[in-house]
């Protein structure tokens, strides 16, 4: 039974010294090793494993973890230990070493928080539902973000990361919902339709002013909510009865009654506030009330108003142009007159009505596109009406066709300014030492390959003329055409052969068969394939040439086959600069531009593979197909500038491929690395890769492999 015995202090020390790299870090582990030596073996192993995992992130983190774990071991269960360690490592990933150490040191804080989390609602978990919820409520599509206190700037609703005032998760979620609805009501029922910021600044007692305004406006919005969302209002009252002193004194009650009128607006609130500014104290804020940030909001609104005016005018211009195109003989007077657009209010607007109006052009009603509808509703929310000068189509000077292009950030721009992750896709990455994901670790951007119009394509075509002919033939043969199924129980036409036989059968007394019809059955190859091409620096030279030639041949073959395919290159440098190069998207035709892009493929930086696989998985899943295949063409191991090399890179790639298969996509790898047999089976599985010894054969082989793969 020796094996069940606990480890001795020396053995533990030896291991700790290795994990924490004492040779360089000079930690003193003796004392802790002795404490650990008293524990049973399973617990020792458990702790050592976690020290190793945390130390793989940072030695200091591992060390501090060990120091603290021995103190609190008795108090917490293993699940909490794991959560604690992972939380610390996540903090390290996001904020760096010191915040992570803070998590480790403040273990008690973490414990308390985790108890709260058990009963509380966590924004991270609930945000998906809350976001759908707020989008469902009418009006501008608000965003959700995290902040200390709930508030809104009329574009984003900020919510605390955790709500735990009430006894259980369900109740706390309700509180979240009420917070969201209250913030939505501010945007929807025009809290900011007056310039609150100016009012505050004008006031002699700005702080008092804003507190009182907030209190009065809260009462008004409660009335709005009660009318608009009675079910929610009931829940709001329920929560208030638990957390707040919801009884108003007589003075407040009188105000409350005033605000209950259906037509009361923010101006009434303002009037009351000015009237009572010195006479009345605001009541204790309700639990869902949060903050008002007039200054911040004023800026957001001003930016939006300017932007939306411009946008609307541009859209109207486009509408007008389209309208005029339809009838060429638009009378010249009309073109001169500026006010061609008009609004026909279906009803008088007040805050209760939906924000819909009918737009007319030259007196005729026209249906505005969805974006214009949203825009007008947003403008109505801000201003309560659409001013006349908004309804003049943009003149030539203002007209900016770029408005209709989707605004996408140029990936290169990001690097010119201060670094940020705006507009990038974020993907997790697997850290095998930690046995967990590093969250949102890779910032991935899509870039376009610069097309090069040279004679590479035509050269390749003439060089491989015979091969292409051969490939086309074989690929055409793979095309499944419609099949005529004979002897069916039903179908479009009578199967004469079957019928003759059947008649013969009946004449000698056998039973007549029912299978007398022919049916045309359609066969569709429903395959979508995505090629992921290594564009790392190591492909420079003839590997790159071979890759490009292979792609040309492949495209020629696939065009004759009719499968849907896309081609992307990948490369990058470190985790913040992962790049996917678009060569051909699924919807692109194989035209001169695509050919020029293939010709323009050039070696870039390093081979980080995990992010590319994850990103292309997503692309593949967006395509409707029965079979989805992801084929990687590479020249070596995953490898990047930072720690992404050796086992780490291989393990992350393997993990990404596991995800691929879990989604029902078939991964396959074609490589020219002769040592690939050492690691590819581990990543792709024994049968899902091919090593090509001779680079010159790549163009031929790729098409050939594809043919074998899909038949």
Q: How far apart are CA 565 and CA 609, in angstroms?
A: 20
- The pairing of strands 493-494 and 436-448 is unpaired
State which residue, 376 or 598, has the beta carbon closest to another protein: 376
Which one of 100, 103, 107, 232 is in contact with another protein (CB under 8 A)? 232
State which residue, 412 or 508, has the beta carbon closest to another protein: 508
Q: Which stretch binds another protein (CB under 8 A): 126-134, 150-158, 316-324, 547-555?
A: 126-134
Q: How far apart are CA 665 and CA 621, in angstroms?
A: 8
Q: How far apart are CA 534 and CA 606, in angstroms?
A: 9
Min dist CB 628 to another protein, Å, is: 17
Per-residue mark of binding to another protein, 405-444 (x: CB under 8 A): ----------------------------------------
Token representation of residue 571: 């490369």
Tell which residue, 393, 396, 186, has the closest CA to residue 291: 186
Rg (CA), the chain: 34
Q: Which is it for the CA torsion 387, 389, 393, 397, positive or negative?
A: negative
Q: Which stretch binds another protein (CB under 8 A): 132-140, 211-219, 327-335, 668-676?
A: 132-140
Q: At what angle do helices 230-243 and 169-188 cross, to 10 degrees?
A: 120
State which residue, 351 or 557, has the beta carbon closest to another protein: 351
Q: Which residues contact 250 (CB under 8 A, 6 or more apart)?
A: none
Residue 138 binding another protein, by CB under 8 A: yes
Q: How far apart are CA 57 and CA 597, in angstroms?
A: 40
Q: Which stretch binds another protein (CB under 8 A): 8-16, 74-82, 225-233, 427-435?
A: 225-233
Q: Which stretch binds another protein (CB under 8 A): 160-168, 224-232, 294-302, 310-318?
A: 224-232
- How many residues of this chain bind another protein (CB under 8 A)? 30
Q: Which is it for the CA torsion 90, 95, 96, 100, positive or negative?
A: negative
H or E stretch covering 488 = strand 483-488
Which one of 72, 119, 226, 229 is in contact with another protein (CB under 8 A)? 229
Min dist CB 223 to another protein, Å, is: 16
Q: How far apart are CA 222 and CA 244, in angstroms?
A: 15
Token representation of residue 108: 């008690």
Min dist CB 624 to another protein, Å, is: 8
Which one of 28, 115, 135, 479 is in contact with another protein (CB under 8 A)? 135
Min dist CB 507 to another protein, Å, is: 9
Token representation of residue 498: 């079957």
Min dist CB 438 to another protein, Å, is: 25
Min dist CB 177 to another protein, Å, is: 6
Residue 326 binding another protein, by CB under 8 A: no
Tell which residue, 246, 232, 220, 223, has the closest CA to residue 173: 232
Q: Which residues contact 314 (CB under 8 A, 6 or more apart)?
A: 394, 398, 399, 400, 403, 404
Residue 141 binding another protein, by CB under 8 A: yes
Q: Which stretch binds another protein (CB under 8 A): 129-137, 158-166, 190-198, 317-325?
A: 129-137
- The pairing of strands 689-691 and 665-671 is parallel
Min dist CB 492 to another protein, Å, is: 4
Which one of 89, 122, 130, 680 is in contact with another protein (CB under 8 A)? 130
The 3-state DSSP class for residue 27 equals coil
Site for another protein in 584-643 (CB under 8 A): 624
Which one of 94, 97, 346, 504 is in contact with another protein (CB under 8 A)? 346
Per-residue mark of binding to another protein, 481-520 (x: CB under 8 A): -----------xxx----x---x--x---------x---x
Min dist CB 397 to another protein, Å, is: 33
- Classify burial at 245, counting beta carbons within 10 Å of its beta carbon; exposed 0-12, middle 13-18, buried 19 or more: exposed
Question: What are residue 318's phi and psi, to 5 degrees?
Answer: -65, -45
Tell which residue, 529, 524, 526, has the closest CA to residue 666: 529
Which one of 1, 5, 77, 136 is in contact with another protein (CB under 8 A)? 136
Which one of 83, 137, 574, 691 is in contact with another protein (CB under 8 A)? 137
State which residue, 123 or 669, has the beta carbon closest to another protein: 123
H or E stretch covering 261 = none
Contact residues for another protein, defined by CB under 8 A: 128-133, 135-138, 141, 177, 181, 229-232, 235, 346, 354, 492-494, 499, 503, 506, 516, 520, 522, 624
């Amino acid at each position: 039974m020796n094996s069940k015995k606990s480890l001795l202090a020396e053995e533990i020390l030896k291991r700790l010294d290795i994990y924490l790299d004492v040779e360089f870090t000079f930690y003193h582990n003796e004392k802790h090793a002795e404490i650990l030596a008293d524990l049973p073996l399973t617990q020792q192993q458990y702790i050592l494993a976690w020290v190793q995992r945390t130390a793989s992130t940072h030695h200091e983190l591992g060390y501090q973890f060990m120091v603290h774990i021995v103190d609190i071991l008795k108090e917490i269960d293993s699940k909490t230990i794991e959560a604690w360690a992972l939380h610390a490592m996540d903090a390290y990933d996001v904020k760096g070493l010191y915040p992570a150490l803070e998590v480790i040191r403040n273990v008690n804080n973490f414990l308390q928080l985790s108890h709260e989390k058990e009963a509380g609602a966590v924004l991270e978990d609930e945000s998906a539902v809350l976001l759908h919820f707020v989008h469902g409520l009418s009006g501008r599509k608000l965003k959700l973000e995290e902040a200390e206190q709930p508030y809104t700037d009329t574009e984003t609703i900020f919510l605390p990361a955790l709500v735990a005032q009430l006894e259980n998760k369900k109740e706390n979620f309700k509180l979240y919902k009420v917070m969201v609805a209250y913030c939505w009501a501010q945007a929807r029922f025009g809290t900011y339709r007056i310039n609150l910021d100016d009012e505050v600044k004008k006031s002699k007692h700005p702080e008092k002013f804003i507190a009182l305004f907030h209190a009065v406006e809260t009462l008004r919005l409660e009335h709005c909510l009660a009318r608009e969302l009675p079910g929610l209002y009931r829940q709001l009252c329920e929560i208030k009865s638990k957390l707040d002193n919801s009884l108003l004194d007589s003075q407040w009650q009188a105000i409350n009654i005033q605000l209950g009128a259906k037509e009361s607006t923010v101006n009434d609130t303002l009037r009351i506030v000015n009237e009572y500014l010195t006479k009345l104290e605001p009541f204790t804020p309700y639990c869902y009330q949060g903050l008002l940030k007039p200054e911040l909001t004023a800026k957001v609104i001003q930016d939006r108003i300017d932007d939306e005016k411009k946008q609307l005018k541009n859209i109207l211009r486009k509408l007008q142009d389209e309208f005029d195109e339809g009838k060429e003989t638009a009378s010249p007077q009309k073109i001169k007159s500026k006010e061609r657009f008009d609004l026909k209010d279906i009803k008088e607007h007040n805050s209760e009505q939906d924000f819909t109006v009918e737009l007319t052009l030259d007196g005729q009603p026209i249906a505005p596109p969805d974006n214009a509808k949203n825009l007008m509703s947003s403008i109505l929310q801000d201003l309560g009406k659409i001013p006349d000068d908004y309804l003049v189509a943009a003149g030539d000077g203002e007209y900016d066709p770029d408005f209709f292009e989707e605004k996408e950030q140029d990936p290169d721009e990001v690097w010119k300014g201060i670094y940020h992750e705006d507009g990038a896709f974020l993907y997790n990455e697997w850290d095998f030492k930690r046995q967990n994901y590093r969250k949102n670790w890779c910032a991935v951007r899509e870039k376009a390959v610069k097309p090069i119009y040279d004679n590479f394509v035509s050269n390749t075509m003439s060089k491989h003329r015979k091969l292409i002919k051969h490939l086309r033939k074989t690929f055409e043969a793979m095309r499944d055409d419609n099949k005529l199924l004979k002897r069916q129980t039903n179908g479009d036409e009578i199967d004469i052969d079957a019928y003759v036989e059947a008649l013969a059968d009946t004449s000698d007394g056998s039973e007549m068969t029912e299978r007398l019809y022919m049916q045309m059955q359609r066969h569709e190859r429903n395959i979508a394939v995505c090629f992921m091409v290594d564009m790392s620096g190591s492909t420079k030279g003839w590997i790159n040439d071979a890759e490009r030639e292979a792609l040309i041949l492949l495209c020629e073959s696939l065009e004759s086959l009719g499968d849907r395919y896309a081609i992307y290159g990948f490369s990058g440098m470190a985790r913040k600069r992962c790049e996917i190069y678009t060569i051909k998207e699924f919807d692109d035709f194989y035209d001169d531009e695509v050919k020029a892009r293939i010709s323009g493929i050039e070696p870039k930086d390093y081979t980080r593979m995990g992010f590319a696989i994850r990103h292309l998985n997503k692309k593949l899943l967006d395509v409707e197909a029965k079979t989805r295949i992801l084929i990687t063409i590479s020249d070596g191991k995953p490898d990047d500038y930072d720690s992404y090399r050796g086992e780490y890179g291989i393990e992350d790639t393997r993990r990404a491929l596991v995800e691929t298969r879990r989604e029902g996509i078939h991964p396959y790898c074609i490589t020219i690395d002769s040592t690939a047999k050492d690691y590819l089976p581990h990543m792709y599985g024994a049968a899902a890769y091919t090593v090509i010894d001779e680079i010159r054969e790549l163009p031929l082989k790729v098409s050939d492999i594809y043919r074998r793969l899909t038949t």
